[in-house]
Amino acid sequence: MSLQYIIDAYNLINHPAFKPVNKSALNIQFALADFIRFNRLTGSKTNRLILVFDGYPPPPENVPVGDNLVCMFSLDKEADELIKQLVENSASPRNMIVVSDDKEIRLASSFSRARVSGVEEFICGKKNLRTASAKVAETDFKLSFASIEKINSELRKKWLKE
């Protein structure tokens, strides 16, 4: 079974251990994709990789693509929100590994039963990925009012068959 890595791209790019392997890369998207491939950070070639960037994409010819590589851009919202949506909308979040140092993304991903990894763990090869139950048990998290309302609405629909 292949895994799906969702990378908070700018977290990884801004980490001190990120050293572009190809100094002549067209742009930061290509530099990041090359770095991950060269260092085999996602393990098997069958594992999927989604790089999530803030903002708008460059022209299509300036975005790396591959069989198991997708670059996504958050457009008008933050990349954090896009990452959380990807995890929440996944049919199999247990096969996902979300790489980010953002506490909110890590918490939301864990809550959805995805595995999480910090950037340091991901780059340095530490396989210290914790499951959702262990992470949630350690964390005292608070939901926003909007999140509570969304959950209540979904539960109402399920239980009352609205």
Q: Walk across the sheet containing 48-53 and list its strands.
A: 69-73, 48-53, 4-8, 96-99, 115-117
| CA angle (119, 122, 123) in 5-degree steps | 85
Domains of the chain (ranges plus CATH)? 4-160 (3.40.50)
Q: What angle do CA 61, 67, 68 make, to 5 degrees?
A: 105
Residue pLDDT, tens place only, 68-113: 999 999 999 999 999 999 999 999 999 999 999 999 999 999 999 9
Please report which confidence band the pLDDT of residue 133 belongs to, taking 50, 70 and 90 as the band edges: very low
Per-residue model confidence (pLDDT) at position 143 = 66
Tell me, yes or no, if the pTM score tops 0.95. Answer: no
Report the DSSP beta bridge partners of residue 112: none
Average pLDDT over all residues of the chain: 84
How far lies 125's CA from each of 3, 43, 119, 135, in Å? Answer: 16, 10, 10, 20
